[in-house]
Structure 1
Amino acid sequence: MNAERDLTRLLAGMRPELDPGRYVFTTVAGPAPAGVAPVVTVAEDEGLTLVVRQEEADAAALPYDYVAGRITLRVHSALDAVGLTAAVAGALAGAGLSCNVVAGFHHDHLFVEHARAEQALAVLERLMAGDIGDTRGRS
């Protein structure tokens, strides 16, 4: 499957999917502890950021203060595609929703406040249908 670059096709084909889990952001000084399988890692000067399932963080006594829902955009977006992240973040911001975006090789993954994840999914579905904004030349 070829990665998509066209913004109109990216938005129309997003197919956002909400994972039923609860995810948290935490940081450790070394590698991830035993029993913790991060879905995202980011190496920063201050330590290794991990995005993990909440139950794994709790079992490993890892601190966190933000619980997120994970929405995967099922469209295979090219890493050099222009505008998808901006369109998604703009639509969510317009609804008062924060969003932490992580680009994988095949898909973009959005981490949104868990308590409002269903609302975020509905916003993305409206964006996909062209019902939000004028991002595809529609009024």
Structure 2
Amino acid sequence: MTGERDLRTLLHGMRPELNPGRYVYTTVPDGEVPTGVTPVVTVSEQEGLTLVLPEAQAAASGLAYDFVAGWITLRVHSALDAVGLTAAVCLALTDAGISCNVVAGYHHDHLFVPYARAADAVRALEALAAESG
């Protein structure tokens, strides 16, 4: 299935969904994912392997972590070469005073926002979607 490229269609149909749980960022310098850890995102960097994972897994594994986040999935199937979705979403969240870390998956975009502001972020994105219809 080909992803959507039209910005108006993407914004109107994004259907932001807050995934349950608290997610954290950590890093493992040796690049080895500890046993019992199932990251939802991994990024390989020169300094080590960044993991985004449920907070409970980080704590149980003794991993130091930073930035407790809520994970929002934009349910619209966006094309990887679509132009403007990330910018529009980030602008809406900026206007609401909410920081955002964006990860593009093959089918959907995923946003990691401060956990305490996750519901506010969903409301801001729903308002953006309504305005774009």
- For residues 41-89 of structure 1, the C-alpha deviation after alignment (integer angstroms, 9 at most, x for no partner) is 0000000000000000000010112100000000000000000000000
Q: Identify the residue that residue 112 of structure 1 maps to in structure 2.
A: 113
Percent identity for Structure 1 against Structure 2: 67
User: Is residue 2:129 matched to residue 1:128?
Assistant: yes
- Aligned-pair RMSD on alpha carbons? 1.1
Matches within 5 A, 1:1-139: 1-29=1-29, 30-130=31-131
- For residues 85-119 of structure 1, the C-alpha deviation after alignment (integer angstroms, 9 at most, x for no partner) is 00000000011000000000000000000001000
Q: When the two structures are superposed, what TM-score results if normalisation uses the length of structure 1?
A: 0.93
Supply the distance in 2 between the matched residues of 1:38 and 1:18 (Cα, whole angstroms).
Answer: 17
Residue correspondences, number: 132
Q: When the two structures are superposed, what TM-score results if normalisation uses the length of structure 2?
A: 0.97
Higher strand share: 2
Structure 2 unmatched ranges of 5 or more? none
Structure 1 unmatched ranges of 5 or more? 131-135
The code of the aligned residue for 2:53 comes to V
The code of the aligned residue for 1:44 comes to E
